[in-house]
Amino acid sequence: MRVKDSLADLRDSYLSPSFSLSYKNPLHIVRGKGQYLYDFEGIKYLDGINNIQHVGHSHPKVIKAANTQFKLLNTNTRYLDETILNYARSLTKKLPKGLNKFFFTNSGSESNDLALRLARKYTNSLETIVLEGAYHGHLISLIEISPYKYNGPGGDGPPDHVHPVPMPDPFRGKYRGPDSGPLYFEELNNILKKLKSDQKNIASFISESVMGCGGQIFPPGDFLKASYDAIRFEGGLCIADEVQIGFGRLGKCFWGFDLQDLRPDIVTLGKSIGNGHPLSVVVTTSDIAEKFHNGMEYFNSFGGNPVSCAIGHAVLKIIDEEELQQKAMKVGGRLIEMLNELKSKYDLIGDVRGEGLFIGIEIIKGKNSLTPSGLAARHIVEQMKENRILLSTDGPDHNVIKIKPPMVFNDEDALFLVETLDKILLKY
């Protein structure tokens, strides 16, 4: 029996069946370097999807930072330690003024859960506004605010305190076109009015500024900013989930919320922050942190340990040293241009949208149709994999092909991706 087959059998024996594997014929990857992955036979794949390995797989400086600190010491936040402080200081320099109080956790889910706690304490309310199609994590508190999950297979719908706004998708959403922002805002505002008439106050509005699991959705202008203003006016807090889009991925700006000129009250960071190491951060204002400080200690066995902080700090430095944000803007810009050329060639491509290296290709049934084709999208992704390029699909109809590679992805990779996609679409 081939090693790969026996691994699949062992997986069935030991892992919960709730786990999933990518691709019909799953890959057995044994090594990664930069934007490339290598399987057990040494076959090289271009990784077009792993936004967690932000500065590249197995970056030597990340490994060195981890090794050096691990050899020296790993403890917790109950000791005085420079590592966490140096890291927090560097992160502060990347954030808007006023966002300067940090909590350290180990996953995006933990951070979003903590963000909800902060908002609930600050406002003494549970009422939360979310975007349809959004995903914010796998904890009970987050399945509850993630329509992507609670409306999906096995989901139980939202609890009474969760209020979804239609997904602000200008291509295929309830309202369409670049001027649809005010219409989505009206939906959010109606929720606020209803809460008021029910004599309830809003705790928070949590959103990504560009939606990842929703299908690489760029909300129309005039929606998020107006929503932030209205939420604040009613005494609620605005939580920006930067778990997928932060750290320069969008090219134009370091944070997703900057793309929409937003000033969140709480920001959650994850995934790329540790380049694969389980590290995540919540950052907020002094005022909100003070209100949360009610006598109950915040302790997290692993969150903020020196090894995690050394890794996070190394990632932050590499982003600057290797000018990865600028690179994402240039390479991503050219990639989006080439994908748009494919769009004009193939009716199957309904929309190409993106900023930097966060790109979505929406696959539809054909010309003048807005009917999604998850089947075609999945076929394309499988074929891309056969041609040694790893991508995936997302969105409520699983018809959006996502491109969000490690930020070291270069022009040659972009050309290879577009030429391969062209060949596959030609044969479809």
Ligand X SMILES: Cc1ncc(COP(=O)(O)O)c(C=O)c1O
Per CB under 6 A, residues contacting ligand X are 107-109, 112, 135-138, 208, 212-213, 241, 243-244, 270
Distance of alpha carbon 93 from the chain centroid: 22
Residue nearest to ligand X (CB): 108
CA dihedral 69, 71, 75, 79 (to 10 degrees): -70
Distant-in-sequence, close-in-space partners of 356: CB < 8 Å, separation ≥ 6 = 248, 249, 250, 251, 252, 325, 328, 329, 332, 333
Instruction: Compare residues 107 and 285 and give the one whose CB is closer to ligand X.
Output: 107
Q: Closest distance between ligand X and the C-beta of residue 164, in Å? A: 16
CB of residue 51 to ligand X, shortest distance in Å: 9
- Reported as half-sphere exposure (CB side, CA atoms, 13 A), residue 328 has a value of 32
* 187 vs 241, beta carbon nearer ligand X: 241
Q: In whole angstroms, how close is the CB of 142 to ligand X at the nearest point?
A: 7
Nearer to ligand X, 209 or 373 (CB): 209
Q: Alpha carbon of 230 to those of 280, 288, 388, 390: distances in Å? A: 29, 19, 47, 41
Residue count of the chain, please give it. 428
CB nearer ligand X, residue 245 or residue 408: 245
Q: Which residue, 248 or 350, is less far from ligand X as judged by CB?
A: 248
Nearest approach in angstroms of CB 110 to ligand X is 7
φ, ψ for residue 423, nearest 5 deg: -60, -40
Q: Minimum distance between the CB of residue 241 and ligand X, rounded to whole angstroms?
A: 5
Q: Which of 327, 303, 273 is nearest to 91 (CA)?
A: 273
Q: 249, 356 in Cβ contact below 8 A?
A: yes
C-alpha to C-alpha distances, 175 to 105, 156, 160, 172, 425, nearest whole angstrom: 37, 26, 25, 8, 29
Q: Minimum distance between the CB of residue 404 and ligand X, rounded to whole angstroms?
A: 10
- In angstroms, rounded to a whole number, what is the distance separating the alpha carbons of residues 13 and 17? 9
Least distance from C-beta 337 to ligand X, angstroms? 27
Nearer to ligand X, 280 or 373 (CB): 280
Is 241 or 413 the residue whose CB approaches ligand X more closely?
241
The two tokens of residue 325 are 């944000």
